[in-house]
Each structure stands twice: as C-alpha cells, then as structure tokens.
Amino acid sequence: MPGLGTSFGRGGATNFQQDFQQSDCVWIQGSSLVEAHPVGSRWMMKARERGAKIIHVDPHYSRTSAVADVYVQIRAGSDIAFLGGLIRHIIETESYFKDYVVNYTNAPVIINERYQGPEELDGLFSGFDPGSGTYDTTTWLPENAEAPSASGQPEHATQAFDEKTGAGMGVSEVPEDPTLQHPRCVFQILKRHYARYTPEMVERICGCSKEDLLHVAETLIENSGRERTSMLAYAVGWTQHSTGVQTIRAGAIIQLLLGNVGRPGGGIMAMRGHASIQGSSDIPTLYDILPGYLRMPRAREQHLTLADYIEAGSTKRGWWANFDKYIVSLLKAWFGDAATAENDYGFPYLPKISGNHSHFPTMLRAVDGGLDGLFVMGQNPAVGSQHSGLQRRALAQLKWLVVRDLADLETASFWRESPEVRSGELRPEDIGTEVFLMPAATHVEKAGHFTNTQRLLQWRDKALEPPGDARSELHFTYHLGKRIKAHYANSDRERDWPIRNLTWDYPEHGPHAEPSAEDVLREINGYELTTGKLVNSFTELRNDGTTSCGCWIYSGCFADNVNQTRRRNPGDIDSPGGWVSPEWGWAWPANRRIFYNRASADPEGRPWSERKKYIWWDEEQARWTGYDVPDFPPNKRPDYRPTDDAAGVEGIGGDDPFIMMPDGRAQLFAPTGPLDGPLPTYYEPFESPFTNALYPKIGGNPCGVYWSRPDNPLNVSRSREYPVVASTFRLTEQHTAGAMSRNLPWLAELQPEMFVEINPQLARERGIEDGGWMTVMTERGEIEARAKVTSRLQPLRMGDEVVHQISMPWHWGTYRSSEQGVTGDSVNDIIPLSGDPNTTIEDKTFSCDVRAGRRRGESTCRLAHEHEHVDQMTREGDHEAELPHKAVHTLSSLYELPVPGDREAREPPEGWEAARELARDPGRTG
Amino acid sequence: MTSAAPTEIAVRRDGAVRMGFFTDTTVCIGCKSCEVACKQWNDLPADGYQFRKGGSYDHTGALGASTWRHVRFVERLEPSPAARADAEAALAAGGGGHVPNIPATGGGLPRPEELGGAGGGGLPTPEELGGAGGGARPEEVPDLVQWAEQNGDTPVVGEGDVDVGAAVAAMDRWLFMSDVCKHCTNAGCLDACPTGAIIRTEFQTVVIQPDVCNGCGYCIPSCPFGVPNRDPYDGRAAKCTLCYDRLQDGLEPACAKACPTDSIQFGPYDELVETAKGRVVALHERGVESAYLYGAGDEPGEQLAGGLGAFFLLTEAPERFGLPARADSPAQENGPYATAAGLAAAALAALGTIASFAVARRRGRG
C-alpha cells in the first residue's frame, strides 16, 4: 500500500470497520463496500442510521450506490480528476482544517527551487528521463534536504512499501512557512497544482455534472473539522489502475486537508479483497519486501554489508531509527545460533533483487521459456489474473507446475481444459509441463490466523480434519523445507549456507506430523533469546543478537505467552470508547486500532472536540490516555521539542503525530516514495478513447508499466474502433474467480451466468437485448456474456462527446465440480498486462467494443497468431536458442519497458525489437 | 394485538408467545444471505440456474417450494424533481437536447429499424413530461423513443444544455426486499388444508407438516401472497416454517441470524411491532416520509389477513414489491357469502325434503 505508506508512514488501513459507526460521512470511492464486504458494511449502515451521509463515487451503480445518499457516476479511471476537483474546491473555499494542516502535515515545508510540476512541464514533473521512463526524484526534495541514498535512482520498485519516506528531512533542518504563504511551500504548490481542476474540467473528464462534484465536496466539508469526521473507504477500484498509488495519495491529501486522519470515524479504510490480503503483505508473499516492511536488499547496491543495508534503510529521526533492531532480530529468527555479529547475522546470504520479479514479468518470462517451474498456492492465475490467455500460455512453457488447491481448478487443468486447448492452439500431447496437484485443506480444516482489512489478527481453530491427502499450507511448506534441508545437509558450498542454517524445528503433532501454527506465531512474535521468554512488544527488540522476531510489527501478538489473536471479548460496547473492543483479536502494531491517533488531539494534547475525543494528554498522570493504545511515546509531553541533534523517536516533537515519518508530519507532498510524482496528477488510463484534457501531450501515466509485445497488444487510444469504456466489479454472490462459489448450487443459482451491464441506449444502438447474448471485444480477444440492460448505467456526457460504459463481474471460468456448477467466460481473458509503476496492476479500466450475439471462436484465439510470432522470434533471434528451449533466461529489464507518453507513436513490434536489444545488452540489469 | 384464535393453536407449550419477522427494507443491502442461509439450514435444493431478463440481480424469481426467502430487486426510474424542472425549463426555452429514454427493465425495446426516419418534429412539451408525476412507475415515465416514433422523429443526442432524456430516465433508486411467508393471523393455506397438514404452532406460526401433506395443492391458490408451492419432485407443498426446529431450541431463524444489517429482525411479535412503529417514526423524522408498515399496526378491519406474523417496513407502494395492497384468507373473505350460500342451499335442501315428503304424503294419500 505505497499510497498510504508514503502519505502517513504505514501501509495499512488507518481505522477499523467498527469505527464506521463513529463517522459523520462515509465516502466510498474505488470500492463497492456493500457489494464486496456485506458484513463489514453493517457498521456503515449503523452510521447511516445515526444520520451519517453515505457518498458513493463509482463508474458502476452497485448495491453500494443503492444505499448511498449521494451517488455520482464517473468514467472509469478518471478518479484523480475528480479528487483534484475536490482538493481545489477545499483549498479555494478555504474549507480545510487549518490548525490540523499547519501542525500535522508538511503543508508549511518549503520545496527546493529546482522543483517544477506538470503545469509547467506539460504534464511531467521535473527530473523525468524519457529514456527509462523514470524520474530522478531529487528535484522534489525540500529545500536543504539531502538526497536519500536509496531513492532518487530510477527503478520500478513494485509493491514497495516506501522504506525511505522523507529520508533526510527533519523538522529543524528544513525551512517552513507556518503562514502557508511562501510561494514554494507545499501548500502553495498544491494550490497551483490543482488550480485547473475546476468543476468544468472535472465535468469534461469524468462525465459527471459539476453539481455532483460540488455536492460531494460540500458534504465532505460539512462533515469534517473539529466536531465531525468523514471516513474514506477504497479498494481495488483504486489500486488496480495505471495511476493506482497516486489515486490513493489524492484521497490521502483530501483526508489530511479536512483533518480526518488519526481520528475516530475518520481516516482511510483500505478494504481488502480477500481473507488475509493485509497479512500477505505484512509477512509478504511479495518479492521486494521482507517481513514487517523491511526493504529487500538490492543487487545493484555497491556495499552489501549489514551496516550499509541498515544505513540505507533506517532514518536518523522517526521510528525507522529502530530499523537495525528489526532486521537483526529477523535474521536471528531465521538463522538462529548461526547468525552472529561476525557473519553479519547471515545478512549476506539473503537473496538480492536484480529487477522486477513480480507476477506479470515472471509469467512473461515463462511465456518466453525462461522459467522452469512454478508453485501456485492460493491463486488461480489461469482465470484470476489479467490477460489470463497469456498466463495459460505461460503455464504451457514450464517444465513443472505445483498447484495447491481445493480442487482441480483452471490453473491445474489448463493443459486439458482451456480456451486454447479447445481451439486447438495448444494440444495436451505437446505440452511438456508436469503438473503436480496437491490437495489443500480449507480454512476450516486448519488452524492459524487471518490478518484482515483493519490489520486485525484473528485466530481460528481447526474445526475438522481435512479429507484424504489434503493438508494445510503450513504442513506442505514445512515438510517441503525439511526435505530440502535434508538434501543440502552435507553440502559444503557457501551458497547453501542459508538452507543448512535455517531454523526449521517446529514441533510436530498428530498422525500427519502437522507443525503447530501457534509455534509459528510465537516465532513471529519473537523471543528474548537469553531467557527464552516471549517478548511483549517490539520495543523490547535489540540489535545485538539477543532477541529474535519473525515480523516486528506483529511483536506482542503472543505477549505473556498468550495467543492474543485468539481473544473474542467485545467488551462493553456501549461504554465510552466501547466500540474499540481492544480485546477482540489483536491489531498490529501493539494492538492499536487507529493509526496516528495522537492526531485526534490538538497540538496541546486536548481532544479537538468532546464529540470526537479518542486519545488525549492527561497532565495529572503525565501520559497519553484514551480509548485506544496511543500511537505515540506514552510519556512524551505535547510541548516536547527535540534538540537539533536528537535522533530516533526523540527527534519527533510532542505535537508531531505521524511517528513513522522522519519529521512526524503526514505528507501532502511526497518528495520520496511514489515513483511517478510527488503529487497526484491526472493521466488517462492506458486504454482510453479520450485525449487527456489537462495534459494533451502526455495522455497516460508516463511512468506506467506496460509490456510492449505482440502478445500483449493495447487497443489504440483515442480510437473509434474501441469506443466503449469498460470496468470490472465484484458481486456479493460470487467469490474472486468463482471456483469456490460457482460450484455451490445455492450461490450459483443467484448469479448463474457471466453478464455485462450495459445502458439502454448503447444496447439499442447495437441491437443487444436484455438477457440475450452479447460479445465484448478487445485486441486480446473476445468474450461472450448475457446482457444486463439497465439504467443503472448511464451514457456520460464529456464535453461534446457521449461515452458509453459497460461493467462486468469477473467471477466466471471453466472449472465446475459437478453439473450443479456454473461456468462462463472470464473477463480477464481480454485485459492487457499493464499497470502502475509502484504496484503493476491495471485491470479496472480498459477500452473495448460490444456487439450482439455470441463470440465467433474461443476467447483468446485472436492472440494465437501473435503468440506464434513471439515464439519464433525467441527461437531464432536469441543466440542461446540452441540450448534447451526452457533454459533461455532473459533479463528482467526486458519485461519492464516503460510505456512512451504517446502510445500511438510506438507500434508493438518496434517495442518488441527494442526489448530484444535490451535483452542482449548485459550492461542493463534492473 | 393481533393473535390467532386460541382454538387454532395445535401445539401447546407454556410461556410460548407469538414470534415473527420484521423485515425493514430501508436497511436491506440485497446481499441474499438470507436466501442462502435459509436453503442451507432447511437443506433446500437450488431452483435451477436460469439467467433472467429484467429483475436486476433476481435470478430465483419468486418464493416457491424450494425458495422460502426471496430477495426482490426493484430498479426505480424516476426523475428527481430538480432534474425534471430543469428539463421542463430547457424545453420551454427551446434549448433541451435529449438522450432517448428507454425503460431499463421489461421487454419491448424498439429496434433501431423500427424507429421512424428523420423528421422535423419538436421535443416533448412540458405538459407531456409533466405526466411523469411523482411516484410514477417505469412504464409511466415518458418514453422519448415512443414519443419520437409517434412524431416521426429519430431520437438523437441533442445539442441543448439539458439532457431531457436523462432527466426523466435517470436511475433514481434501487430497492431490495427480502420476501417470506407472512405467517398470517388469518392463514388462507391453513383454512384450506383438508388434511390437517398445515398447523399453527405454539409460536403462532404456520407450518406445513410434510409427513401429513398429501399434495392436494389447495393451499396454493388460497394464499393471497403466493407463498406456498408444490415440490416438483414429490408433489407436497412447502414454505417457510419460521425455522420451527430452531425456535423449539431457542435459536433465531437462519435468515435473521445471517442478515448482516439487521434488515430481518426476529422476536416476540408484540415487541417487534413496537420496534417497527418506532422505526417508522424515526424515519419520518429523518425525512423518509413514505415509510410505513405493511401488515402490522393497522386498525382492526384494515388488517392484512388479520395481521401478518412476518411484516415489512416499506417506502413504496406494496405492488412495487409484488405484494397485494389488500389481502385476506379466502375463507375469511368469502366466509359470509359462503355461509349465506350454504344456508341458502341448506334451506333449499330442507325445503326440497319437506316438499318431497309432502309429495309422498300426497301420493300415500292418493
């Protein structure tokens, strides 16, 4: 969640779902909260019953819109224009919460003279390198600030939690203007930056009316300030865009201007799309961070000692000054006694990142024969990932594939049941991939914890034994690890050191030698190694190798040797502060339910209002107190001022609530962190029928990631060939790619077929009948679906043009467990691989065309020709082609070509040729 | 408070009071968890996998033998007063363009070829638009395509400032209602059941005993709400039991348990009615003046089927949700006539008997 991390300091939802109740206005954008989180939305409905306003801004009129007081339909992907319009209105009408903005954000900070913004540079920020499509971010720094060592270097750091937020900045070092008048202060830059995001401009870009924009703005303003708070909820409707992180940043800026962050009923809820998605970035399944958002070391770094790594990762001021304690404790947890001060606790043995190894580049590498094998666990890329036709073709190029799943889903069965096999493009007898399907236990058949949307760890016990050979992920991973360790036990090769010395000694239980998940959680919590006691908090961790901790932010989840995540005591919810229920599960960090909650009090430590009191300074006890665990040093007085040489948390003043930031302030302007600009700027989606009305020369995100290859074609922008804007959404009745819900008769009958929502006018123009078949076409292929003709979608008027939008759920695929399952085309078959430079996913908007009737061939057969072309080029064009096909390893840079500003200028084959040349140039690595 | 006739209660249990459902449509989010929870607890099969045209996200269609809770979706097209005023003003000034208005649901959309050729006709008059008065149903909103056909005009995106079509056709509200057996005080199904399969329980709910039901189907036309239906496989009638088995164990019914927003509330009937009345008052205070109770709190004589054990809070006319505005057990409705007819028939029969005796006597005499 780089959007939140770079704004506030931590990449997690700031508040919790029960806290919706305290809100005076719940603003939902980029999320269909009610549709996708029906149980969590009960708290929002309670707020509504208490008189709160509900705002929903979305391309698709969903069940969320139905319960909203204000619904605004906008063009998919135009969110930043809408948010920019809100920011402009808040600033122009001086409706921001001035005391909050001046004291708790970096609004007064003066930025250096070299900074120039998109208004001056036709849509670009200063420091752009057109060759690499990346920014040198040093021109964005505050005046007098040093360039941080690890940032400022062009890099596609996908999914990166910003490990260097504002490094080098400190309160006393950087000039400020508390009157906010200095022309180069952040506030004035913000004002100039959004000056052209007028209601008329928003109307033209988003297709909503200017009255709609102003209505939303006024509703938010009326429900923010000392006495009232508004909460923002977003989900993948924001994240999965080529401007995803910047969209979240724009939401954060609004919440900061209105003074809603760190306060009850305020903040930003990042609604997660799946159980434990928050947990899978806390203890990451991502390639570029270590547990607890510690940065993954980079291969390009010249000095790879632990000291250098710590130097690059820690900050002089703010919480990250403790970075060394967390990495050393992590290394002790992994390598135990073998980790010593002499060998840098095993740090040199950690893998180093050499490029973009995220999901899409990895699968593209597989398409080209550069990947031998793949483990797929908890994922179903054959239907669940965008451009799934290409994903399936990638699977066909592997030597082996291990799939752990509940059943023989689309990924495991791609070789015998897929559109490509049906069309004859792939023949089972030609596919060399050896597939190992390992039956998995369901969530009720194994113990463990989920970390959900609100950073809440909730333990669940095993309800019943898994059937047959089905086992938990823990069992599988643990026993696989044991076998690998046994294989390397006698190796004396240096590179096998981490395998030989990995601590892998969980006690086994029962007939299947199941390791105890609680023992794993204890390791995550951390130990005092000298006494063997579990630590109670990350504040007890040390940098001298005497403590171990598997994930520092989870430290305390097993405090007092009690599984805190197993608690289920809601407490007296009617008492003051009772809705916080601190004994229900356990939230990271330190069981805090609202992040940055020092900001719920004014600079002097008094609640902003009695109505919104949460954490305040108790002078008698000389400590912070309230309904939650203070997100602040508990005894630091509000009037504490750091000395010039103060380091670590001591360097943060008593009135600086954002303790993860080196200056204790939230970032309206983010000099470091986002790779595509310090301020959110409107760029068109990669596939858009329209010119960027604000920056016609730029169009899409200049740093956006798109893999320009014949088998990943983009629809030509601004083309009448693909005039329809498409977006995707979720239904309450189905779950993700549908395997678990489409095969339950009770759910399948509720949404039995793939469908497309289409407005009556477009339907009439194309002769499409309600309930009849229709086909959606892109350059990737075409899918068929039932038409749901509904006025819930309306044609949008943008300036002189009318744009039609369609919306599609993405829950269908080919797998069925019995005749009672339902199948259908997957919308992921027609979505290209492209994305945000920070997180690399864009599937919430693309262009297409529609017609009546069923598709003419299999969904992705259009790509077959292009695919053969690529295959041929790989074989003939590469000097290593004589080697076995699958041993051809290509460079990762091949897979992350930046998209040029004007996409029409670059034909895919040219991009492909350029990529091949880059691949042959060994000088360019990562 | 309404209550079933004590003599009708087939099961005796000390302390048992009437239990019911209060379904508040203003907090329903249409998630259908009630439908699924009901099928799961009662082990009911799916009805099939039919994608239905119209009806929004409703693919199970109606209550039936295997669907005892059913969530109805209503897409309401209705101009907001402000939008309509704008449109009228723009048209009066000759400056209104339009996007054709075609009702979202329901068939019969004109094909492009069906639309007339270009003509010089004007736009609808404010009077014509004004016909789409407050509370209009979709079919009552003026259809500009139809209007254009009649006037020989091809609907086009106009050049005026105001989208007249959008103003009159904009999606106004999307309503959800979880429908269920009403467990009527005057239960038509129970009155009609010839075998005694349908009984009133100690909770004054109406339950079909499957082991007694002979599948005669008399209950089906006797329900004014169309609730019970026959299982296509064994022919027996089935409907919501208000989770009689759960109630006997002190558990709330599965649908109410699963409802995430408390749209479905379960409890002692009298308490529920009080809660519901308070809810209506609260909604009126909040400006939702159209809120009213359907099936509870009515004056005697105006009660639906003598009062509904499962009643609803609605904000629209009941017909919008497929509910009758007035309803009662056929036995109650026809009772006086039936009684009168029966008495008349009896009288005739008696007269006939007397007459025949008289004839016999005459013959005997003769």
Residue A914, Cβ density class (10 Å: 0-12 exposed, 13-18 middle, ≥19 buried): middle
Q: Is A854 near chain B, with CB under 8 Å?
A: no
User: What's the average model confidence in pLDDT over A859-881?
Assistant: 51
Say what the pLDDT of residue A922 is.
Answer: 32
Domain B6-76+176-321: give its CATH architecture.
Answer: 2-Layer Sandwich (3.30)
Is the per-residue pLDDT at A161 higher than 60?
A: no
Tell me the percentage of chain B whose pLDDT exceeds 90.
52
Give the residues across from B20 on adjacent strands: B267
Q: Do A771 and B51 make contact, defined as CB atoms within 8 angstroms?
A: yes
Is the per-residue pLDDT at A538 higher than 90?
A: yes
pTM of the predicted structure, to 2 decimals: 0.87
Residue environment code for A224-250, b if the CB has 16+ CB neighbours within 10 A, otherwise e: bbbebbbbbbbbbbbbbbbbbbbbbbb
B299 half-sphere exposure, CB direction, 13 A CA radius? 2
CATH number of the CATH domain containing A87: 3.40.228.10
Which residues in chain B have Cβ-Cβ distances shorter than 8 Å to A791? 75, 77, 103-104, 169-171
Please check whether residue A105 lies inside any domain of the structure. yes
CA atoms of A449 and A459, how far apart (whole Å): 4
Q: Model confidence over B251-278: pLDDT tens digits?
A: 999 999 999 999 999 999 999 999 999 9
Three-state secondary structure call for residue A687? coil
A168-182, A611-625, B324-338: which has the minimum mean pLDDT?
A168-182
User: What's the average model confidence in pLDDT over A46-65?
Assistant: 95
Q: Do A63 and B52 make contact, defined as CB atoms within 8 angstroms?
A: no
**Beta strands, E only, A799-852:** 801-803, 805-809, 834-835, 846-852
Say what the pLDDT of residue A495 is.
Answer: 92
Say what the pLDDT of residue A151 is.
Answer: 35
Please check whether residue A174 lies inside any domain of the structure. yes
Strand order, beta sheet including A456-460? A448-451, A456-460, A586-587
- Mean pLDDT score of chain B: 79
Say what the pLDDT of residue B196 is.
Answer: 95
**Beta strands, E only, A358-399:** 373-377
User: What's the average model confidence in pLDDT over A583-589?
Assistant: 96
- Residue A392 near residue A192 (C-beta atoms within 8 A): no
Q: Which chain A residues in 776-835 lie under 8 Å from chain B, judged by CB atoms?
A: 786, 789-792, 794-795, 797, 802, 820, 822
Q: Do B57 and A792 make contact, defined as CB atoms within 8 angstroms?
A: no
User: What's the average model confidence in pLDDT over B300-310?
Assistant: 92
CA atoms of A69 and A641, how far apart (whole Å): 45
Say what the pLDDT of residue B104 is.
Answer: 34
Is the per-residue pLDDT at A872 higher than 90?
A: no
Is the per-residue pLDDT at A138 higher than 60?
A: yes
Say what the pLDDT of residue A252 is.
Answer: 98
A662-676, B30-44, B97-111: which has the minimum mean pLDDT?
B97-111
Q: Residue B191 has which token pair? A: 């009155």
Which residues in chain B have Cβ-Cβ distances shorter than 8 Å to A66? 29-30, 173-176
Say what the pLDDT of residue A249 is.
Answer: 96
Which residue is closest to B109 within chain A, CA to CA?
Answer: A764
User: What's the average model confidence in pLDDT over A3-12?
Assistant: 88
Considering only the beta carbons, identify the residue of B50, B53, B103 that sits closest to A752: B50
Residue B12, Cβ density class (10 Å: 0-12 exposed, 13-18 middle, ≥19 buried): exposed
Tell me the percentage of chain A whose pLDDT exceeds 70.
89
Assign A155 a pLDDT band (cuts: 50, 70, 90): very low
Number of domains in chain A: 1
Assign B133 a pLDDT band (cuts: 50, 70, 90): very low
Q: Do B260 and A42 make contact, defined as CB atoms within 8 angstroms?
A: yes
User: What's the average model confidence in pLDDT over A341-362?
Assistant: 90
Say what the pLDDT of residue B341 is.
Answer: 72
The β-bridge relationship of strands B206-208 and B198-200 is antiparallel
Q: Do B110 and A791 make contact, defined as CB atoms within 8 angstroms?
A: no
Which residue is closest to A755 within chain B, CA to CA?
Answer: B51
More confident of the two residues A262 and B146: A262
Q: Do A41 and B36 make contact, defined as CB atoms within 8 angstroms?
A: no
Distances (CA, A) of B88 to A186, A453, A621, B81: 47, 47, 67, 10
Assign A861 a pLDDT band (cuts: 50, 70, 90): confident
Say what the pLDDT of residue B160 is.
Answer: 54
A749-763, B70-84, B97-111: which has the minimum mean pLDDT?
B97-111
User: What's the average model confidence in pLDDT over A882-904?
Assistant: 31
Give the residues across from A71 on adjacent strands: A56
Q: Do A66 and B260 make contact, defined as CB atoms within 8 angstroms?
A: no
- Mean pLDDT score of chain A: 87
Q: Residue A139 has which token pair? A: 């021109």
Assign A466 a pLDDT band (cuts: 50, 70, 90): very high
Q: Model confidence over A220-246: pLDDT tens digits?
A: 999 999 999 999 999 999 988 888 899
Q: Model confidence over B199-239: pLDDT tens digits?
A: 999 999 999 999 999 999 999 999 999 999 999 999 999 99
A518-532, A586-600, A840-854, B189-203: which has the minimum mean pLDDT?
A840-854
CA atoms of A610 and A599, how far apart (whole Å): 14
Is the per-residue pLDDT at A906 higher than 50?
A: no
Say what the pLDDT of residue B107 is.
Answer: 31
Helices (H), strands (E): how many in chain A?
25, 32
Is the per-residue pLDDT at B311 higher than 80?
A: yes
> By residue range, what is the domain housing residue A41?
2-275
What ranges do the domains of chain B cover?
6-76+176-321, 80-169, 334-366
Assign B91 a pLDDT band (cuts: 50, 70, 90): low
Q: Do A770 and B54 make contact, defined as CB atoms within 8 angstroms?
A: yes
- Closest by CA to B33, choosing from A746, A727, A16, is A746
Q: Is A424 near chain B, with CB under 8 Å?
A: no
CA atoms of A840 and A834, how far apart (whole Å): 6
User: What's the average model confidence in pLDDT over A746-766?
Assistant: 93
How near does any CA of chain A get to the CA of B47, in Å? 7
Please check whether residue A349 lies inside any domain of the structure. no
Sorted by sequence, the CB contacts under 8 Å of residue A349 that are 6+ apart come out as A495, A497, A498
Sorted by sequence, the CB contacts under 8 Å of residue A804 that are 6+ apart come out as A723, A724, A725, A758, A759, A761, A762, A795, A796
Say what the pLDDT of residue B65 is.
Answer: 96
Considering only the beta carbons, identify the residue of A49, A752, A789 that sits closest to B49: A752
Interface test with A, best of B50, B51, B60, B143 (most A CBs within 10 A): B51
Say what the pLDDT of residue A767 is.
Answer: 95
Considering only the beta carbons, identify the residue of B40, B102, B105 that sits closest to A761: B102
The β-bridge relationship of strands A53-57 and A70-72 is parallel
Is the per-residue pLDDT at B108 higher than 60?
A: no
Q: Which chain A residues in 716-775 lie under 8 Å from chain B, judged by CB atoms?
A: 731-733, 745-753, 755, 760-761, 763-765, 767, 769-772
- Residue B329 near residue B222 (C-beta atoms within 8 A): yes
Sign of CA dihedral A35, A39, A43, A46: positive
Q: Model confidence over A475-484: pLDDT tens digits?
A: 999 999 999 9
Assign B345 a pLDDT band (cuts: 50, 70, 90): confident
Q: Do B29 and A760 make contact, defined as CB atoms within 8 angstroms?
A: no
A677: left (phi over 0), alpha (psi -120 to 50) or beta: left
